[in-house]
Structure 1
């Protein structure tokens, strides 16, 4: 229950800047930007919520990675495909988006992994 609360708090904190930008764009009358910002609110919300997966000590690291990867494909990828922030008008567009999604995820995972590893080494010493 504690991790769920932590995940929801992170979700709200990470989503807040995009929600503020969406409100600002709404007041400016820029409806296309509002729609894009709401997609980003959803992405930030799910990223914040799932960030606690790596804090579940009972799960192996491989299990954490697999569950996080699975959840991202069920939450973030459909938001990107159907949210309209990135136009998808053909199978090629959908595959290009999927490839960008996967490569971005690998880059973010690799950077995060090394940051966590360095932090643990600094903490241990």
Structure 2
């Protein structure tokens, strides 16, 4: 049996297969309230479902590359700490897409034109607010 959303085989038990972005968001949601830097095993134990340790490590490594988490060695293992929340991760993704385009103005124009009137108003207010802030 195949998953209609991704056309990938469904996992054992027929459950829905989660996408990479969904897993990254779940890991960040676990890391945000952590009492400090934590191990991958700590993260794994607090995630819903039965994710393999290697899967958790892969997600943490991808988040590190994106700048959403940091790690440092503690003893023989690494400990991880969130540097971005879910909104920050989405902003990092948006920035990476924009940085990969040669015609940034066209991309930004198409993005703005596609916004709902409410989102466009929020963006205008945010831009107005940043224009009012003094530069360092």
TM-score by length of 1: 0.31
TM-score normalised by the chain length of structure 2: 0.29
Of structures 1 and 2, the one scoring higher in RCO (CA 8 A, sep 6+) is: 1
Structure with bigger helix share is 1
The structure with the largest strand share of the pair is 2
Structure of greater Rg: 2
